[in-house]
Amino acid sequence: MDSIIQTYRLTKKFKDVEVIKPLNFSLRKGEICALIGKNGAGKSTMLKLLAGQLLPTMGEIQLFGKSGKDLDYARKRMGFMIETPTFFPDFTAIQNLEYFRIQRGIADKKRIYTVLEIVGLANEKRKKFQDYSMGMKQRLGIALCLLSSPDCLVLDEPINGLDVEGIMEIRKLLMKLNEENQITILISSHILTELKLLAKRFVFIKNGVIVEDLTRESLEQKSRKQLLLTVDDSAKAARLLEQAYADIQFKVLPNNQIIIENHVEKGGSINHMLVEHGVMVKEFRMEALNLEEYFLGLVEGKNND
């Protein structure tokens, strides 16, 4: 698969503080990749380096296989929304985009109407930017990113501050751009449950270092449901589980607790089987490690696996 973005030992220092430590990262064509990290983890700095808003201290950036002096040309194939775009409050969407079209030397005037149609603002021709909702403002920001017909979007917190409806609109829009227009997307956000619905890959960053890089399938595996049992005799319960299910995966914890990691859908049968064979089940519940818990464990050093 072709790499859209590739970094080699990318490093950024501010005075003596190394905000991005030698970082190797690649984004492949067609991906929706989520960049996840707490405030100060280095997310925005990394995206600003890709956008050319900051210069690296060391290392190399390649965009579409181009580097060095060719980067500026390659960036024309990218759409960046690193900070909330500054639009003219008294201008309509068309007037704002016309200003940026001229400023950026984009010849096709019809492109303005095309991108407004894509982001769902085609019917808001008379409304001024100052009267837009937060969701509409974010959609106009994405329309601006799309003005130059990019192959890749890099979006920093595009759903920050939106209500539930606004978040859903942006998610649907980004999925449509990826699926119908084959646009590759790199997105950062703090709204982790939303990222789980959108992204196909999850890159966790902490103190300027990528600490984990997971596919959606791997993340699902790590955040899968499990059964938690508290019994009066964990040794007997373990023997019964092994006899009943040859491939059962479980852990025996202190205080007669057992975590069962597979056959979760057979919880009722497992409970009945243990009770029938004289094991008192004091507690029986299903629990899932969600994305937020996994993320917090990862960036705060609680997860060891």
Domain boundaries, the chain: 3-220, 224-288
Q: Give the pLDDT of residue 177.
A: 96
Query: Under CATH, which architecture does the 3-220 domain have?
Result: 3-Layer(aba) Sandwich (3.40)
**Percent of the chain scoring above 90 in pLDDT:** 70
pTM: 0.79
The C-alpha atoms of residue 173 and residue 167 are separated, in whole angstroms, by: 10
Stretch (H or E) spanning 14? strand 3-14
- pLDDT tens, position by position, 37-62: 888 889 999 999 999 999 999 999 99
User: Where are the strands (E) in 189-289, listed by range?
Assistant: 201-206, 209-215, 225-231, 250-253, 257-260, 281-288
**Residue 295: strand, helix, or coil:** helix
Q: Give the pLDDT of residue 303.
A: 46
Q: Which CATH superfamily is domain 224-288 in?
A: ACT domain (3.30.70.260)
pLDDT beneath 70, residues of the chain: 1, 289-291, 296-305
**Greatest Cα pair distance in the chain:** 79
Read off the tokens for 5.
Answer: 């973005």
The C-alpha atoms of residue 153 and residue 42 are separated, in whole angstroms, by: 19
Instruction: Tell me the pairing of strands 3-14 and 281-288.
Output: unpaired
